[in-house]
Amino acid sequence: MVKDKQNDIVSIAERMLKAFKHVQCFVFEKDELQSIRNTIRKIGLYKHVRVRLVDPKYPLIYIVKPNITECIEECRRKAEEYILTGRVRDELKKHFRIEYISQCRNYCEHEKVKEIIEILKKFLEGRKSGNIS
């Protein structure tokens, strides 16, 4: 039974790795929700990802995506700092704020996906070399 759970965790980790490499998220059905959450905890991804419904219209489909909440706040703070220090002309402030936050958010999401991929790779490499955590 324990061996099956470990195999499930490895199998889910492999699926997640493939998904994050290709589409920067992982989509799954509700019947896997508990297994996915357990895998996220076991691997150490809890602070790095968010598990949410894809859309309230589809209550059976969930998504695991990068958690960039802290990063968004940092992007907003930096945009405001640039504006307040006079680095941006008055007529460009609104456009700058929108563009800067959007680009910063995309960069953060990209970096977070790279972190998630590395964590998944290290976990799987540890499993293949015989380390059991």
pTM of the predicted model as reported, rounded to 2 decimal places: 0.85
Q: Which long-range contacts (CB under 8 A, 24 or more apart) does 8-16 make?
A: 8/35, 8/39, 9/38, 9/39, 9/42, 9/43, 10/124, 10/127, 12/36, 12/39, 13/39, 13/43, 13/120, 13/123, 13/124, 13/127, 14/124, 16/64, 16/120
Domain ranges of the chain: 2-124
CA distance 41 to 19: 18
Per residue of the chain (133 residues), give pLDDT as tens. Answer: 455 577 889 999 999 999 999 999 999 999 999 999 999 999 999 999 999 999 999 999 999 999 999 999 999 999 999 889 988 888 888 899 999 999 999 999 999 999 999 999 999 998 876 655 4
